[in-house]
Amino acid sequence: MNGSSAKPIPRGILTRRHLPAALAAACALGGLSSPSLAQDAGAERWRFEATPYIWGSGLDGRVRVNGKPQAGAGVEQSFSDILEMLEFAAFGTFEARKGRWALTFDAIYFRVGEEGTLSALGGLASIDADATLTQQVYSFGGSYRLVEGDSPVDIVGGLRASSVKWDVKIDSSVPDLALGNRRFTETKDWVDPYIGARIETRLNERWSVVGYADIGGFGVGSEFAWQVLAGANYAFKPDLIGKFGYRYIAVDYDKSDFTYDMASAGFYAGLGFRW
């Protein structure tokens, strides 16, 4: 873990629920597991799948930065609340399979921003704050197919690296105020190992259903993290697969005056391209 020294953000400058919620949303969005390639796992040539996706997640938990507040700031927001602060987001997975073995990669980039103004000295002065939070999550994993056929079963495992950076700029209309014009920046990084399993059952030529679950952290990065996913795939064509379903993720990280204890759940949708 690494990070630069930062002072707590002064209370009252930003709406208290916004910045923790943005942090939670960013961390919560990491690790969407791409269902296994529908082609025969016994084939000897490499097969690939790339899937851009979205996830409409709600949040429930707490976040604590620099030890403040002591018990953590409560977060309970819908996806529409988070969407109002969204500046940019990009998510996608990639899978390369050969025979029973597969390599997977998941990339998350998420940036949210919020601005606010606080009146001071009976309205004679004002303090403006502009906060930006950037979250990156990269999952590197592999899987082995234990069972083949119409209901293939894979065991999965890997590493999930998370990076959170927040940047707060404060401008005062009266330079002699204690705050003056200041900027606070801090970054937190951690890596979670994870293990899990995935099953996909073909219903017919176009439809299949998918189940996925993993657990991780184990005190290496976060104390504990887990997720479950239930969804369905529809083959528009053999090389174009629509994916949708429901996903739940929980993460409990608490180290170095930074706490992230959050559960996130919502529907996801993606489009897989196979070759």
More confident residue, 213 or 33: 213
Give the pLDDT of residue 27.
Answer: 44
Which residue is associated with the tokens 């296994």? 36
pLDDT at position 18 over 70:
no
Q: For residue 50, what pLDDT band results from cuts at 50, 70 and 90?
A: very high
Highest mean pLDDT among 23-32, 139-148, 183-192, 244-253: 139-148
* pLDDT above 60 (res 212): yes
Residue pair 37/145 in contact by the 8 Å Cβ criterion: no
Tell me the range of 58-67, 141-150, 170-179 where mean pLDDT is highest: 141-150
On the question of pLDDT at 214 being above 80, the answer is yes
- pLDDT band (50, 70, 90) for residue 129: low
Distance between the two ends of the chain, CA-based, in angstroms? Answer: 38
pLDDT(53) > 50: yes
Rg (CA), the chain: 21
Residue 232 bridge partners (DSSP): 209, 244
Structural domain spans, the chain: 18-274
The single-letter DSSP state of residue 146 is E
pTM: 0.75
**What is the predicted pLDDT for the residue at 90?**
82
91 in Cβ contact with 57 (< 8 Å):
no
Architecture (CATH level 2) of domain 18-274: Beta Barrel (2.40)
pLDDT higher than 60, residue 42: no
Count of residues for the chain?
A: 275
Tens-place pLDDT, residues 89-110: 888 999 999 999 999 998 878 7
| pLDDT band per the 50, 70, 90 thresholds, residue 37 | low
Residue 4 burial class via C-beta count within 10 angstroms: exposed 0-12, middle 13-18, buried 19 and up: exposed
What's the rounded Cα separation, in Å, for the pair 196 and 179? 48
Which pLDDT value is given to residue 34?
45
List of long-range contacts for 80-88, beta carbons under 8 Å, 24+ apart: 81/21, 82/21, 82/22, 82/25, 82/57, 82/112, 85/18, 85/21, 85/22, 85/112, 85/113, 85/114, 86/110, 86/111, 86/112, 87/111, 87/112, 87/113, 87/132
Please give the mean pLDDT across all residues of the chain. Answer: 78
Assess whether pLDDT exceeds 80 at residue 235. Answer: yes
Report whether pLDDT(173) > 60.
Answer: no
pLDDT at 1: 46
Q: So what's the pLDDT on residue 10?
A: 42
Residue 10 CB-half CA count within 13 A: 21
Q: Token pair for residue 265?
A: 């759940």
Judge whether 60 and 78 are in contact, CB under 8 Å.
no
Task: Please give the share of the chain, as a percent, with pLDDT higher than 70.
Answer: 72
Give SS3 for 33. Answer: coil
DSSP code for 30: -
The reported pLDDT for the residue numbered 275 is 96
- 82-113: string of b/e by CB count within 10 Å (b at 16+)? beebeeebebbbebbbebeebbbbbebbbbbb
Over residues 207-235, the mean pLDDT reads: 95
3-state helix, strand, coil in the chain (%, to 5): 5, 65, 25
Tell me the average pLDDT across 6-24: 45
The arithmetic mean of pLDDT across residues 114-134, rounded, is 60
